[in-house]
Amino acid sequence: MTVERNVVVSIEDIRALIFECKTKDCARLTLLLSAITKFPDKCPTCGVSWLTEPRTVSGERVPTGIKSFIEALDIIRKNPPANVQVLFEFAEPLDK
């Protein structure tokens, strides 16, 4: 028998966002969601851009969508919908 356990959180439960540089695993930046006034546009250590992808087919840099996602979270937190609650579901971490 397989047992799955999940963790469910609402937007109101989110306290902070953690930004982790994947380019060189060089930096991890934790910001309280309520205190984010400006999106961190680049890694504070290596300077790689977090707001745009490095290249596209046309050669132009394009937005990653992360900034829009965080702005949407802020809007929903400040003006929650009256008839629906948005929840996030995560698999419970397994002890290794």
78 within a domain of the structure (yes/no): yes
Dihedral sign, CA of 24, 25, 31, 33?
positive
Per the structure, the count of domains in the chain is 1
95 within a domain of the structure (yes/no): no
Please provide the average confidence, as pLDDT, over all residues in the chain.
80
| Residues sharing a CB contact under 8 Å with residue 32, sequence separation 6 or more, in sequence order | 15, 16
User: Which residue did the predictor score with more confidence, 63 or 25?
Assistant: 25
- Structural domain span for residue 47: 7-82
pTM greater than the 0.75 cutoff: no
**pLDDT digits over 33-75, tens only?**
877 777 788 888 988 888 776 555 566 665 667 777 888 888 8
Residue 55: per-residue pLDDT: 57
Beta bridge partners of 18: 30
34 within a domain of the structure (yes/no): yes
88 within a domain of the structure (yes/no): no
Rounded Cα gap, residues 88 and 96, in angstroms: 24
